[in-house]
Chains A and B, each alone.
Chain A
Amino acid sequence: MFEHDALLYDGPDGFVEHVLPFVRGAFENDEPVLAVTGHRNAAALRDELGGDAALVDYRDSVDWYASPGKAFNGYADYVARHGGECRLRVIGEPVWPLDWREGVDEWARYESALNVAFADAPAWIVCPYDTTTLPGAILEHARHTHPTLHAHGERVAHDEYVETQAFWSTLDSASPFAPPPRARRQPITADLAGLRAAVAVEAGRVGVPRQRLHDLLLAVHELAINALTHGGGEASLAMWTEGDRFVCEVADAGPGVERPLVGYQIPAADAPRGRGFWLARRLCDLVEVRSQPGGTRVRVHLRRA
């Protein structure tokens, strides 16, 4: 059974005060512990655990939380390898992109999606939120995306949790989702090589690092194939820059895809489709999906040099 708590804590001392009983509880039950957090909190936890510090598997949050797709698959792999018979305990503290609204929203969607995707996983995950540094909007998301709160190693019931689909819909309606007028647009045809060339030229012009170019081209290529094959015969690409990011959006007029899980879970080895969305989530810094019966828009973001 999956347990997903938000821990609203008050600086490093608060972090240790609440997390320590959680970790000690795991030791008592012989449950493995994974701690994905920043250096400061990790160091504070190690100090407090003393001789038991080595019983926790620490991972650096900057690397682990490079993108929602990467974090999701990191947890899926970890649960598959360590979950087994006994429950796994996780401390998971994302790195919130504070100056980037779409990024914050998408990370909140990710937190919410975990409740559906991991519903049957034998894991208890506590997501710490530092109330001294995070803005109110993120703390509000925390309560909306976690079925329970956490204090001193215990789950705490609350009434602000919002079901995943409803939470995603609320975020959708809070912000319009249309490419800006300055975007470069072109129809997507079966000339996929031409499409890749157009994306490569534009990406080069706006300073996408060369070593990330293939990630972008493959993601857009696979999304374009999805749009062509399931997109109701019409598909288009829009490209633009937004701050330090390059954005490509693939739009189609198809019957829509099922959120939130599309793109997060790796398709089974012989599954017919789904690798396009999944690869896009793995390869790009951020992926946004809006979908309804009249069409789907998938937006991929990549940081510029």
Chain B
Amino acid sequence: MAATFLRPVEGLSPGDHACLVYDDERRRDRMLLAFLAQGLDRGDRVVYIAREPHDPVASELSRQGEGGQVSVVTAEDCYLHDGAFDAERALEGFRSVLAEAAARGFSTVRSAGGPPPAVTQNGSSHLLPAYERRAHALFADGRLVSVCAYDARRVAATALLGVVDAHPLVLYALDGNERLEVRVTSETSLAPAGWIDVTTLGSLTEPLARAIGYGDDVVVDLRDVDFVDVAGLRLLVEAARELDARGRRLRLTHLPGPVPTMIALLGYDEEPGLEVA
């Protein structure tokens, strides 16, 4: 699927199936709460899959929400059957929430959360990409919007790549990656150092989104970047499109030798918002 980055959690709309990769509970909770609280305002049916029965998001939702609009279920109840991962049970749970919500006149179901450690930390994590691809069918009629949260520290790395790939939208709440240091040299200029690849994208996404938020062209100086892969280049192209839509451009400077060739091969040399200096 086409992973799209650079979308704030508040920018999701019905039909969106997003993945949140996090490595810090507080940032996860803050993002999921912002997302679910927006659903309370809009009159969505809100379902939270809790890390723990009384985690901060669960408590805050019970305080703000009205009975009948908000449900909190534990990750164990949602994803496990006799202690083992049961994809069918989880999918059935979503289907019945959708049916119930429709019967009661809710036009949208908004859910957030992710599978419990029993799934992500034992041998069943390799089943997650296939589960997420099946789950994607639930979004087809535009009545469900979800953020599936995955702890980057606890999901087997190979499964995590598959999980990310199974979602059309990916959000990150990650601390820095030692392989990519992103120096912010001004409001709208970044100087990443290291590798921009599928394993380090999370570190660049937020600074890039923030730079786009200002009213100018954005400059990314690549002189200290040793390697850019297709996913890395697509993130930059995504940023260029975002800027182009606002009448601005992304300027790449000091490109490593092979990058212009990649840009040309992949057909990104005709992106109106991308300027290669």
Contact = CB atoms under 8 A, between A and B. Distances in A.
Interface of A: 189-193, 196, 214-215, 217-218, 221-222, 225, 228-230, 232-233, 235, 266, 269-273, 275-276, 279, 282-283
Contacts of A229: 129, 161-162, 165
Interface string B1-17: 11100000000000000
> What is the predominant secondary structure among interface residues of chain A facing chain B?
helix
Given A222-B230, A233-B126, A269-B267, A228 B161 contact: yes
Contacts of A214: 257-258
Interface in B183-222: 195, 197-199
B37 interface: no
A190 B162 contact: no
A272 B195 CA distance: 22
Contacts of A283: 265
Contacts of A225: 161, 198, 229, 231
Contact of A218 (B161, B165, B262): B262
Given A214-B258, A279-B265, A192 B199 contact: yes
Interface stretch (B46-54, B72-80, B152-160): B152-160
B162 A221 contact: no
A33 B179 CA distance: 51
B94 interface: no
B161 A190 contact: yes
Interface of B: 1-3, 126, 129, 157-162, 165, 179, 195, 197-199, 227, 229-231, 257-258, 262, 265-267
A221 B129 CA distance: 20
Interface centre among A233, A276, A282 (most CB of B within 10 A): A233
**8 closest cross-chain pairs (CB), A and B:** A190-B157, A233-B126, A214-B258, A272-B1, A229-B165, A272-B2, A229-B162, A228-B158
B125 to A, nearest CB: 9
B197 to A, nearest CB: 6
Contact of A276 (B162, B197, B227, B230): B230
Contacts of B126: 232-233
Given A190-B158, A190-B161, A228-B162, A218 B229 contact: yes
Given A189-B158, A225-B161, A233-B159, 18 more contacts: A189-B157, A190-B157, A192-B197, A193-B199, A193-B227, A218-B229, A221-B227, A222-B230, A228-B158, A228-B162, A230-B165, A232-B126, A266-B267, A273-B1, A276-B230, A279-B265, A282-B265, A283-B265
B17 to A, nearest CB: 13
Contacts of B2: 270-272
Contacts of B257: 214
Contacts of A272: 1-3, 165
